[in-house]
Amino acid sequence: MKHFFMTALKKPSATQNTPGNFMLRQNASHPKTSHMNSKFSLRDRDSTYRGSCRKAIWLGLHRICSRLPETRAALFRRKKATAYPKEVLLLSLKEQKFGFWGKGFLSATFLIIIFLFPLWLKALSFESAPVVNLIETNHVSIEWMSDELASAMLYYGHNVNLLNLKIDSPNAKFHRVKLQNLSPNTQYYFKLTLKNNAGKEINTQIYSFKTKLKLPQLYPLFAKQPQFEAHNGMAKLYWETNVPTVGTIRYGTDTNLQQSQEVLVLGEKHEIDLEDLKPQTKYFFKVEIQNASGAKKMSQLFEGMTPELTKKPLTIELELSPTVSQITSHSALLEIILNQEAPITIYYGKTKNLEKKIDQQKPLKEYKIKFENLESNQTYYYKIISQEKNLSPIYEFRTNFY
């Protein structure tokens, strides 16, 4: 390529008998033939590179870029040729030298334009195609993204041939519009028109979507009437409904139903406990249910009786560990505290066989039992039994020496 430009733009010498020199010499006496000779000389140079298509294209670009300097030189020669033919010849050579640099600059500028022009002509396009989201019975959301800043107009309607509704989107890359007040279970069609800041427009194909069917809301009903089960100061209520519901229980000891408790979990089967109820008391209650759309249903008035509060029997146990005090050489005092009143029996002796016993048949919670007739300086063992149940392990104590 470099060889081509250097050959095509090579400055001819004054002594060469070339078409270029012939043109310069003829300009002085035949200025009207300069244009024809100029064309002839360029055409003569073209013939060298007819075998290469690529070089021929570059030579064509060179002709366009070099048109301006050659025309200006020819006009100057027409004015000065008759008076100073020698000076005109030298000036023409200088101008051809200047023309080389001028042509090179113009050629470089033209090449830059050629390479940048396709970028300027880049077509506006979608980076992501339109996507329909959040389809409901009466509204949808449509999103898309362009590859550059662009405003948009969305046309839509029931008829594919008549998109008479429209909504615009401001200048941006990412766009989201919400179509509202749509009809349920209906097919809609839409298309987009994008316009960038340079005024270029692009139209999309026609897309479609269908809104959801609006389902009728079922009225809440009791599939199973509320049931009341009471025991030990509390009651259990349970019921079933035909659709998912929440509920509120209103209850009390009279028909005013001054107490209430809410059921906030949406479901068809419900079970709830009412606590702190009075034993042997009649309670009245109603259950109000509500579905997701807000429709309510109140049950009839029910009543239930709480039973007598029953206590579970406590196991007889020691409240505190037994203690032996006031120990002498012949006696000692045993203190016992139980968790409830109960009769007890104390077994004791000098060995762990516990040969002796003391019965306390009167039920008491606290006992003070005195061991007597003991031997001095002797170890004694004992344990406590109530209703044939061992209340303690075997304990021991020792009497004094004197």
Helix (H) or strand (E) holding 42: helix 34-46
**269 CB contacts (<8 Å, ≥6 apart)?**
238, 240
Tell me yes or no: is domain 126-210 CATH 2.40.50.100.
Answer: no
Residue located via tokens 């009728």: 216
Classified by CATH at the fold level, domain 222-305 comes out as Immunoglobulin-like (2.60.40)
pLDDT, residue 2, reads 41
Q: Domain locations in the chain?
A: 2-120, 126-210, 222-305, 323-398
Average pLDDT, the chain: 75
Q: What is the dihedral of CA 125, 128, 134, 137, to 10 degrees?
A: 40
Domains 126-210 and 323-398 agree in fold: yes
Whole-number percent of the chain with pLDDT over 90? 22
Distance CA 245, CA 344 (A): 59
Q: Check whether 209 has a pLDDT greater than 90.
A: yes
Q: Check whether 49 has a pLDDT greater than 50.
A: no
Q: Check whether 109 has a pLDDT greater than 50.
A: yes
Classify domain 323-398 at the CATH superfamily level: Purple acid phosphatase-like, N-terminal (2.60.40.380)
Any idea which of 46-50, 226-230, 288-292 has the lowest mean pLDDT?
Answer: 46-50
Residue located via tokens 């020199």: 21
Confidence of residue 156 (pLDDT cuts 50, 70, 90): very high
